[in-house]
Amino acid sequence: MSNLQGISVKLPLAYSKEDGPYGLNKNLGQVIKQNFKNLVLTSPGERPMVPDFGCGLRRLLFEPMDGPLRSEVVTVINKQVNKYMPFINIEKISFITSDENPNIGINEAIVSIKYNVGSIDTSDTLEISPIND
């Protein structure tokens, strides 16, 4: 096992040859990305004691991917980030469909969120897709 200490448990839980029983997030960028993903995928009412936490993105993505829905997704993500993770600066939210990528199913979409965290000088992209989530 590694001598590196982890900041938090990496989700989903899985055995890691390097860390032992569970994989670990080893830097703040990894922790922030994991927490951001949880915020985006959690449905309002799902988190105990915090009923308005979460974007409910899965629910929204089962609707037709038209202009009003895209605008609603952007609004919900921005509102939740401003409330629960105000240290994240969202640079761009993109929607990738089968029109842009033929490897995506006709009824699927990928939401790509480019963001930065100025306090730790890091940028990253969170992609939410039905394939890897």
Is 3 a domain residue? no
Q: What total of structural domains would you count in the chain?
A: 1
Block residue for tokens 């949880």: 38
Is 57 a domain residue? yes
Q: Which domain holds residue 121?
A: 8-128
Whole-prediction pTM: 0.86
Q: For position 85, which CATH number holds?
A: 3.10.450.40
**Torsion over CA: 116, 33, 50, 68 (sign):** positive
Is 23 a domain residue? yes
Is 1 a domain residue? no
Q: What is the pLDDT of residues 46-102, one digit of tens each?
A: 999 999 999 988 776 667 777 788 899 999 999 999 999 999 999 999 998 888 888
Is 65 a domain residue? yes
Is 63 a domain residue? yes
